[in-house]
């Protein structure tokens, strides 16, 4: 790293099952969130299969960074090639770590006894997993796969097993390693601010951001659409706090009616339930073309039953008319998927909870019921 420049990081996630689409990568996002919170967000996340030439190329590219984080390919099978190819890309010899081999052997013998198999079936894999690049520091062991920290020139490499649970358990030990800490110590201090919007388009938020002054000058802004929400995140340099505050105020001004959370990463369903609790309200939903998805999101939150009473999914027009009193004339004139139909759904309280006479599962609060209707994005507002 050149003097005065912030350190750079990269992530390489290995596994042919990922590039085939058989499994979704959970490790890259996990690493990225962690590194970003430490002020050294990755410049790239590379997902690569087990083909030797492609994997070696990805590792070699990653070595151009100050910190390279790699997951996967540390197992005992023939297609677990990460250690071998990383050593080749970094110009390091491979050696067998005797202490590591003993630890892996102990675990493998216990597995062999439990499965009533001969240890000789495991022995080649034990030696393979204990073979590491010269100078590697073993920071932990999950199952029989080690987590390693390696120096290769100006780059520090953290190499972890692929299974997410094992990787996440070993990650704190990798971060505590002296070589990794030395890289992190050079990272600039960053502050993260976030805004969460609902019911507004990504392009409208992008326009508002540009009119507010845009990013730059120590503030990096990202806009991301996520499950009908728009997330805006600002990464703020140590000397850019004042500019960030001005940008946030100018951005939220024209979008205030859509803003539901500030510096709160909770999903909107958690925010809605929390606000209802704070105000002593219960909640029910009358849904049409969402087909119960609003109720599903609300009930996915543990403890939602103290607020959420139930739902009517009025998918067919006959149900809208019979259960919620929407007139047939309105449906003919405006259609079922319209702001007018959505408003009509809430003119009559859904027959759930206390309104239906069933108090066995009702909140002890007064049976005030707010309705949620989602016929169209415009109506939902």
pLDDT at 78 over 90: no
Q: Both 167 and 212 in a single domain? A: no
Can you give the pLDDT at residue 136?
97
Predicted local confidence at residue 360, as pLDDT: 28
C-alpha separations of 222 from 59, 250, 325, 355 in Å: 27, 16, 44, 45
Query: Is the predicted pLDDT of residue 377 greater than 90, yes or no?
Result: no
Domain count for the chain: 3
Domain co-membership, 116 together with 168: yes
Q: Which residues are CB-neighbours of 317 under 8 A, at least 6 positions away? A: 326, 328, 331, 336
Mean pLDDT of 230-244: 89
> Where does a domain end: 208, 240, 262?
262
Predicted confidence (pLDDT) at residue 335 exceeds the cutoff of 90: yes
- 211 shares its domain with 285: no
Report pLDDT for 350: 52
Query: What local confidence, expressed as pLDDT, does residue 238 receive?
Result: 78
Per-residue confidence (pLDDT) for residue 381, from 0 to 100: 37
- What is the 3-state composition of the chain as percent helix, strand, coil, each rounded to the nearest 5? 45, 25, 35
Same domain, residue pair 221 and 345: no
Q: What pLDDT sits at residue 353?
A: 46
Task: Tell me the whole-structure pTM to 2 decimals.
Answer: 0.65
Q: Are residues 119 and 239 in the same domain?
A: no
Digit-coded pLDDT (tens) for 162-204? 999 999 999 999 999 999 999 999 988 788 899 999 989 999 9
Q: Where a domain ends, among 240, 262, 284?
A: 262
Residue range 356-373: mean pLDDT, rounded:
38
Using CA atoms, how far residue 151 sits from 267, 291, 316, 366, in Å, is 40, 54, 64, 64
Whether 363 has a pLDDT exceeding 70, the answer reads no
Sign of torsion over alpha carbons 107, 111, 116, 122: negative
- Count Cβ neighbours within 10 Å for each residue of 335-347 and write b for 16 or more, e otherwise: ebebbebbebbbe
Using an 8 Å Cβ cutoff, are 104 and 75 in contact?
Answer: no
Residue 216 pLDDT: 87
Indicate the pairing of strand 229-236 with strand 308-313. unpaired
Using DSSP, state whether 283 is helix, strand or coil. Answer: strand
Mean pLDDT along residues 14-22: 95
Per the domain annotation, does 163 fall within a domain? yes
- What tokens were used for 22? 């058989």
Note the pLDDT tens digit of each residue in 20-69.
999 999 999 999 999 988 889 899 999 999 999 999 999 999 999 999 99
Residue 84's pLDDT band (cuts 50, 70, 90): very high
Average pLDDT over residues 305-320: 93
Q: Say if residue 284 is in the same domain as residue 233.
A: no
pLDDT of 280-297, one tens digit each? 999 998 989 889 999 999
pLDDT of residue 349: 55
How far, in Å, CA of 76 to CA of 107, rounded?
Answer: 13
Domain match, 283 and 198 both: no
Q: What is the mean pLDDT of residues 265-286?
A: 91
Q: Which domain holds residue 355?
A: 268-380
Based on the fold, state whether residues 358 and 280 are members of the same structural domain.
Answer: yes
């Amino acid at each position: 790293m050149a003097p005065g420049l912030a350190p750079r990081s990269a992530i390489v996630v290995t596994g042919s099952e990922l590039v085939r689409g058989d499994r979704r990568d959970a490790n890259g996002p996990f690493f990225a969130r962690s590194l970003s919170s430490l002020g050294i967000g990755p410049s790239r996340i590379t997902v690569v299969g087990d083909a030797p030439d492609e994997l070696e190329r990805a590792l070699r590219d990653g070595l151009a960074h100050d910190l390279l984080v790699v997951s996967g390919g540390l197992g005992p099978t023939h297609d677990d090639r990460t250690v071998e190819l990383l050593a080749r890309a970094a110009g390091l010899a491979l050696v067998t770590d005797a202490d590591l081999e003993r630890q892996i052997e102990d675990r493998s013998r216990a597995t062999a006894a439990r499965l009533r198999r001969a240890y000789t079936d495991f022995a080649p894999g034990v030696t393979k997993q204990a073979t590491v690049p010269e100078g590697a520091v073993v920071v932990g062991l999950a199952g029989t796969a080690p987590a390693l920290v390696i120096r290769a020139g100006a780059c520090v490499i953290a190499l972890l097993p692929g299974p997410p649970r094992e990787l996440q358990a070993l990650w704190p030990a990798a971060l505590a390693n002296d070589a990794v800490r030395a890289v992190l110590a050079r990272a600039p201090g960053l502050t993260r601010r976030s805004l969460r919007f609902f019911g507004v388009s990504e392009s409208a938020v992008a326009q508002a951001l540009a009119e507010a002054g845009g990013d730059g000058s120590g503030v990096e802004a990202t806009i991301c659409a996520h499950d009908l929400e728009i997330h805006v995140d600002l990464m703020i340099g140590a000397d850019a706090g004042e500019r960030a505050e001005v940008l946030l105020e100018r951005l939220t001004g024209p979008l205030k009616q859509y803003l539901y959370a500030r510096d709160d990463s909770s999903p909107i369903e958690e925010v809605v339930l929390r606000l209802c609790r704070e105000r002593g309200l219960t909640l029910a939903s009358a849904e049409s073309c969402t087909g119960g998805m609003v109720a599903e999101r609300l009930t996915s939150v543990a403890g939602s039953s103290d607020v959420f009473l139930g739902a009517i999914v009025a998918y067919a027009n006959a149900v809208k008319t019979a259960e919620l009193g929407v007139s047939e004339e309105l449906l003919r004139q405006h259609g079922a998927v319209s702001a007018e139909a959505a408003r009509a759904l809430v003119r009559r309280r859904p027959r759930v909870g206390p309104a239906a006479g069933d108090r066995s599962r009702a909140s002890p609060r007064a049976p005030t019921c707010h309705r949620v209707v989602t016929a169209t994005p415009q109506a939902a507002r």
